[in-house]
Amino acid sequence: MSTDSDPFRVLGISRISSDSEIRTAWKELARTHHPDMGGDVAAMQRINTALEEALALCVKQDHANAVPTVLHRDVSSLTVSVLPVDCYLALEVVAAICGPTVHEDPPYVLEFHLHDTPVQHALYGWCRCELVPEAGSTTMHLTVGSDDRKQSPSVEEVRDYLVLQLNTIDWPEN
């Protein structure tokens, strides 16, 4: 594993790697460098940071090809006390309230439009939720974007709206 600050070099992949290729590289490195597998905490942190940065760049590339966008990213926006599969199912319900789904990679990625939400400047906005397993729960990273360069939804306001909607769900008992 590289000690370079370039996230693609740390993950050992090309700069034009897809979202799934980035995640696959991360999973392979995590298997050997995770502290539970005898790896180093600092190395795992470097791998996790590389994952987040590479995915953020991947999202920018995906949307840059279509329409100029404004992006806001919030890493570890919220944690839900259920496994990613259950969190993903609940998030699908919330996404259906927000607007049409744009991209999905169950149970780790869900991207959807925000135009049906009361969030300010959401008419041309979208949200990408990345679900990361965390010791029996799920941490959600949010990327919020807009195709309108003048008005973009606030990542904090989108996060608060998602939390409000997720809190209305009747979660299964563990």
pLDDT at 68: 47
Distance CA 100, CA 92 (A): 10
What does the DSSP assignment read for 95-152? HHHH--EEEEETTTEEEEE-TTS-STT-TTEEEEEEEEEETTEEEEEEEEEES-TT--
pLDDT at 65: 52
pLDDT at 38: 85
Distance CA 148, CA 132 (A): 29
Enter the pTM of the model: 0.60
pLDDT at 64: 47
Distance CA 57, CA 144 (A): 13
pLDDT at 174: 55
Domains of the chain: 1-65 (1.10.287.110), 67-174 (3.30.310)
User: Is-contact 13 49, C-beta < 8 A?
Assistant: no
**Per-residue confidence in pLDDT tens, the chain, 174 aa:** 545 678 888 998 877 777 888 888 888 898 888 888 888 888 889 998 988 888 888 765 554 455 546 788 888 888 999 999 999 999 999 999 999 998 899 999 999 999 899 999 888 889 999 999 988 899 999 999 887 777 889 999 999 999 999 999 886 675
User: Is-contact 142 156, C-beta < 8 A?
Assistant: no
pLDDT at 31: 86
CB burial string 55-66: b at 16+ within 10 A, e below: bbebbeebbeee
